[in-house]
Amino acid sequence: MMYYVLYNPLSGNKQGAGSVEKVKALVEGEVKALDVREIVDFKTFFATLEAEDKVVLCGGDGTLNHFVNDIADVEIKNEVYLFANGSGNDFKNDVAPEETGLVKINQYIQNLPVVEVKGMKRRFINGIGYGIDGYCCEVGDEEAKKSDKPVNYAGIAVKGLLFHFKPANAVVTVDGETHEFKHVWLAPSMNGRYYGGGMKVAPDQDRLADPKTLSLVIWNGTGKLTTLLRFKSIFSGEHVKYTKMIHIFTGKDITVKFDRPTALQIHGETVSGVTEYTVHANA
């Protein structure tokens, strides 16, 4: 039996290669390390494995989300594990918060939802963000181009809330039922409970629900100062008690339209100038 350890050198603040040695200490058997970015055909990769071989993916939410898109059309018969070494690890904190080693993920990487935006289709493991979270990723991308220092997303969020980000009006449709909202700060659609490095935005979302559904969370109507003061409650999931500003919908097919272009983010990957997105619970 062989453990194939797929690592991303860029994950965990560019410390991803070090996770290989940590995995070796956790498993019994021969280990072969591969840079996950260099695997161009996952169908061929999995076809070459013996049935008893195991695959360990090292990385955070971004690495995991790339992986689930790369294996979208691949039949996987081997056990697949995650060794979380990202900066946020929202997926791991959702499905196995107490686990310090390997997390088996076969049941979580199949039957994933899809987002359609600007002619592109992408599977997503946790959720997609639209509003000030997308704005933060967009500004963070620009800062990263100018400096090697870690991006201060918290600082970007505070400045955005107080000065730079302008809420939009939204029309949302969930399984054919349409609602309108003014002054929208956030409009993410969630497969899991967490995103954005620890924000428990959808506390009741079940990624393994049968039948499968997604949660759309709308934060709207509050002024800048109130939004800033209450924003910390999203990390504990307590924001949902503010029912005048938080609206949660559950459904299989969700469309969100803003009245002006706004950035959208998929696990930290920014899509700029978005006026509309659609998600489907099943690909």
Q: What percent of the chain has pLDDT over 70?
A: 97
Residue 189 has, within 13 A of its CA and on its CB side, a CA count of 29
Rounded to a whole number of angstroms, the distance between the first and last alpha carbons of the chain is: 33
Of the two residues 7 and 15, the one the predictor is more confident about is 7
Q: Tell me the average pLDDT of the chain.
A: 92
Superfamily covering domain 2-108: Probable inorganic polyphosphate/atp-NAD kinase; domain 1 (3.40.50.10330)
Alpha-carbon Rg for the chain in angstroms:
19
pTM above 0.75, yes or no: yes
Query: Has domain 114-280 been given CATH number 2.60.200.40?
Result: yes
Contact 10, 16 (CB under 8 A): yes
How many Cα atoms sit within 13 Å of 140 on the Cβ side? 23
pLDDT at residue 15 in the model: 60
From residue 142, how far is each of 73, 129, 132, 139 by CA, in Å? 34, 18, 15, 5
Domain boundaries, the chain: 2-108, 114-280
- What integer pLDDT is reported at residue 131 of this predicted model? 93
Amino acid at position 159, single letter? K
Distance CA 163, CA 158 (A): 8
- pLDDT at position 133 over 60: yes
- State pLDDT tens for residues 187-225: 999 999 999 888 999 999 999 999 999 999 999 999 999
Tell whether the model's pLDDT for residue 38 goes beyond 60.
yes
Sort 79 into a burial class: Cβ within 10 Å, 0-12 / 13-18 / 19+.
middle
